[in-house]
Each structure stands twice: as C-alpha cells, then as structure tokens.
Amino acid sequence: MSLLNIIHYPDKRLHTVAKPVVAVDARIQKLVADMAQTMYAAPGIGLAATQVDVHEQVIVIDISETRSDLRVFINPQILKAEGSSVHEEGCLSVPGIYDRVTRAERITVSALNAEGETFTLDADELLAVCIQHEMDHLKGKVFVEYLSPLKQTRIRNKLKKHLRETM
Ligand code: K2U
Ligand code: ZN
C-alpha cells in the first residue's frame, strides 16, 4: 500500500468530474487500499479519488471511533434524500478551514463495494454528511463553494499565501 498526495484547494484538478469505474479490478482494489491508508494517515474520516488526482468514482469512509469500519463506495448514486441539516465541515483538501454546510439529513445511496457487488445503504447524521461531501468531490465540487463569495475569496487567498510560504 502507498500514501497518496492529497491535492489542495484551489488546485483546478479538484474541479474535475470523475468518470464511472468500468470494472472493480486489481487496479481499483489497490487504489481503494492506498486511499484508505492515506485517509487514516491524514487523518480524516473520508476521502474521494478526486482528492488524490484520480478521476474515477471511488470513495472511502470510516467514521468509527476505532478506525476499523472502512466503507467503500464505487460509482455511488443517491436514490433518496430527505430533510435538511446543518453540520460543521472540514476537508483534507482545504486544510485548517471549517464552516457550516446545509445538506440532506437522511439519504439512501446505492454503490458497488470493493468486491464489485451492488449494495444499498440508508445513512443519517455524520455518515450522511460525509457521503454527500465525498460525492460532491466526485462532481468536482469542494465544500467551500457553499460559502459566501467573500469567504471563498478569503480562503483562496489564505491557502495561496500558505502555499507560497511553504515552497
Ligand atoms: O473530503 C475530505 O477531505 C474528508 C473530510 C470528510 C468530512 C467532511 C465533512 C464532514 C465530515 C467529514 C475530512 O475527514 S475533514 C476532517 C474532519 C473530520 C471530522 C469532522 C469534520 C472534519
Ligand atoms: Zn473534502
């Protein structure tokens, strides 16, 4: 397994729309393993392939306290979305920035697992937030885009300044 490089906002590659996975083969299974290792090391509770510059529809999530409940979503689709809730969000691609985002409170999602089998999941609370956040990444959308233009400008300038200082 390998640690992958997480690209940071406002890198334009984060706005690439991911393509459906054609076959859950050894290459995809290695990508899942590398993404999981990268997520745990970050640490984060979710990671989309877009964030490691792979533009295919693959997401890994683990919201467990024990970091031992890895969930893999390949070619995820939301079948049902209900309610509305506001949650503090962060993002491994936008380090140090946290803000409140409104999303569906409950979702039903269908996807392929790491063995290529179709499954359906009902999710709420943090799992629902994380799945929606990661699925946004696959659509080329970063959570800061839900914030005001002024906040987005300030975040972009802050991260560009940080990048200049660390080069
Ligand atoms: O996409 C990512 O960078 C992974 C996020 C997943 C996440 C986003 C919003 C709300 C919950 C999870 C990272 O795990 S950011 C770190 C984090 C962890 C728990 C709560 C908030 C942020
Ligand atoms: Zn994110």
Residue-range domains of the chain with CATH: 12-166 (3.90.45.10)
Ligand 1 pocket by Cβ (under 6 Å): 44-47, 89-93, 129-130, 133-134, 137
First to last CA, the chain: 28
Distances (CA, A) of 109 to 32, 60, 122, 132: 19, 14, 7, 10
Taken in order 147, 151, 152, 158, the sign of the CA dihedral is negative
Counting residues of the chain whose pLDDT is more than 70, the rounded percentage is 100
Banded pLDDT at 80 (limits 50, 70, 90):
very high
Lookup result for tokens 């914030």: 147
Both structure tokens of 146: 């839900």
Q: What residues are annotated to the active site?
A: 134
- pTM (2 decimals)? 0.95
What is the Å distance from ligand 2's center to 117 Cα?
25
Note the ligand closest to the C-alpha atom of 42.
1
- Which residue CA neighbors atom 14 of ligand 1 most closely? 44
What is the Å distance from ligand 2's center to 25 Cα?
25
- Which residue CA neighbors atom 2 of ligand 1 most closely? 91
Banded pLDDT at 146 (limits 50, 70, 90):
very high
Return the ligand 1 atom nearest residue 94 CA. 3
Burial category of 61 from C-beta neighbours within 10 Å (exposed 0-12, middle 13-18, buried 19 and up): buried
Q: Are strands 106-112 and 71-82 parallel, antiparallel or unpaired?
A: antiparallel
What is the Å distance from ligand 1's center to 61 Cα?
9
- Residue-wise pLDDT for 113-138, tens only, equals 999 999 999 999 999 999 999 999 99
53: Cα within 13 Å, side-chain hemisphere? 10
The per-residue pLDDT for 165 is 87
